[in-house]
Amino acid sequence: MRDLLRLLALGRPYARWAAAGIALNVVVVLANVGLLALSGWFIASMALAGIGAIQIEYFAPAAAIRGLAVLRTVGRYVERVVTHEATFRLLTELRVWFYEHLEPLAPARLQHHRGGDLLSRIRSDIDSLDTLYLRVLAPTCAAIISVILLLGFLALYSVPVTWVEASGLFAAGIALPLAAVRLGRDPGRRAVSIRAELRVIVSETVQGLGELLITQAAVRQAEAIARLGTSLVGQQRRQAWISSISSALSGLAAQLALWGALVITIPLVRAGSLTGPDLAMIILFVLASFEAVAPLPAAFLALGETLAAARRIFDLIDAPPAVIEPRCGAPRPQIFNLRIRGLRMRYADDAPWALDGLDLDVPQGEALGIVGASGSGKTSIFNVLLRFWEYDGDIKIGGVALRELDGDTARSLFGVVSQQTHLFNVSVRENLKLARPDATDAELMDALRAAYLEEDIAGLPNGLDTLAGENGARFSGGQARRLSIARALLKNAPMLLLDEPTEGLDAASESATLDALAKLMKGRTTLLITHRPAALRIVNRVVALRGGRVYVGEAEAAA
């Protein structure tokens, strides 16, 4: 219930759209019931009039039948447009809301989640929530309103028939759906879990297919996917059986109500309390009124799966962020020297210290090289400076404490070039404009020229409009690295963090990348992490780390 209320609160901005969809649903249900009931009354009356038993004025009911038919058709079309518009607006709101809550958790709170799982939550789980309004909320609210109006109309003719009708509607609209919810809760939850796991393993299989083929593990991976698929089909089959049985029992409730109405109304016709056309109208009215509750068993069955998807989303975003933003961030510093004292940081409460008492000073405009073995804490310095992880100790930039700056302001001070350059599968222009959306083409080409990439881009089929390909597949490692440098040039941040920018490059690519970095570093306070001696030629001095702190002897040797 708590998850359901949270979902309803998220849809509050679109309450008018939702209410309009429900109102149109009610109109369509009433038009359908009214059309069938009035048609039965009209046909019976015309038959009696044909043998001279009664006289009727047929123009008004004939016009009403035509009007109800048109209303049903137009109303159903408009209802579909409105309810789907409300659903799409809600899904858009949910995705934005989810991302806004997800972003502060990255990367510290998301480090133990697989990428495929996160993708599944942000796409598939949120898509699953569209059933909440379309298949649960709208049909349920429309059914309640419609049933009240229908029973009120029926009571004008026969109270006993109204009680029979109410009993049938209660069985088909409340008792059976609740039973379906109870029976479908577990398979719904399992289906959501299995579907999420299946998406994760398929995503990882596609991304790592080359490695799987090399290690001859592709067959084993395919078998794992097949097992998950079989499990998912099993849960879906259980849900289908529950839905089918519930629908059959709903039909049985409608037929029993119909026979009950016949048993009550036939003596009334014989006694003269009701006419023959009234009997036809009431019977067809009772039969058609079950359309109001027909969607409820399937809707309530889907509720278990919807709430399971919601729980997966809420479980993720309810985690507290690792870095607490200041209530009122300090102004951006105007001087860009870096002073670190007693810095300590670790990646989990029970993990060893990645940084343990680090002291470091970098004057404004100086380039500092940082060397050391893997695990010595080099990258951890960058994670702290970018406010990705919390820390103990004191860090000041231009005399302003880092923890007094909000995350966006702190990250705006740094341009980052790393060995893992992510390029989106969009144009080169759009990839570059991530750094500065208002940059002109001339400015983009200036940045590419400074990164020694102008000729490479000009030689592409569509120049700046050329797609980078999935994960930047169109570009070599060196080209991707220099595109990252061009982005850093466009950002024009006063400080630079360079994390193994030449790792994995051949000698020619490394030389070109270092020349581009040397241009980028002019006048900027720079920290360069590297294992490659050639990269140290572009820095002013070098320090070495061991055990999360500066190791002076190694620093002097490296210098």
**Digit-coded pLDDT (tens) for 506-521:** 888 888 888 888 888 9
| Residue 188, CA distances (Å) to 49, 96, 230, 295 in order | 56, 26, 15, 18
Determine the pLDDT at residue 559: 45
Determine the pLDDT at residue 115: 65
Determine the pLDDT at residue 93: 81
In sequence order, the 6+-apart residues with CB closer than 8 A to the CB of 238 are: 184, 187
**Which residue pairs, CB below 8 angstroms and at least 24 apart, start in 83-88?**
83/21, 83/24, 83/25, 83/133, 83/134, 83/138, 84/134, 85/17, 86/14, 86/17, 86/18, 86/20, 86/21, 86/133, 87/130, 87/133, 87/134
Report if pTM > 0.85.
no
Phi, psi of 460 (to 5 degrees): -75, 155
Complete DSSP assignment for 1-64: -HHHHHHHHHTGGGHHHHHHHHHHHHHHHHHHHHHHHHHHHHHHHHHHHHTTS-----HHHHHH
How far is the C-alpha of 130 from the C-alpha of 171, rounded, in Å?
27
pLDDT tens track for 135-148? 788 888 999 999 99
Tokens read off for 500: 């193994």
How far is the C-alpha of 446 from the C-alpha of 455, rounded, in Å?
12
Determine the pLDDT at residue 116: 64
Determine the pLDDT at residue 209: 80
Full set of structural domains in the chain with CATH: 2-189+249-317 (1.20.1560.10), 338-558 (3.40.50.300)
Tokens read off for 477: 């490692």
Residues with pLDDT less than 70, the chain: 114-117, 119-121, 552-559
DSSP helix/strand/coil, 124: helix
Determine the pLDDT at residue 368: 92
Q: How remote is the C-alpha of 400 from its chain's centroid?
A: 37
Tokens read off for 418: 């790393």
Q: At what angle do helices 296-317 and 2-10 cross, to 10 degrees?
A: 90
Determine the pLDDT at residue 553: 43
Tokens read off for 343: 């810095």
How far is the C-alpha of 408 from the C-alpha of 325, rounded, in Å?
10
Determine the pLDDT at residue 413: 93
Give the closest residue to 503 by CA, choosing from 414, 379, 408: 379
How far is the C-alpha of 397 from the C-alpha of 341, rounded, in Å?
12
Strand pairing category for 338-345 and 355-362: antiparallel
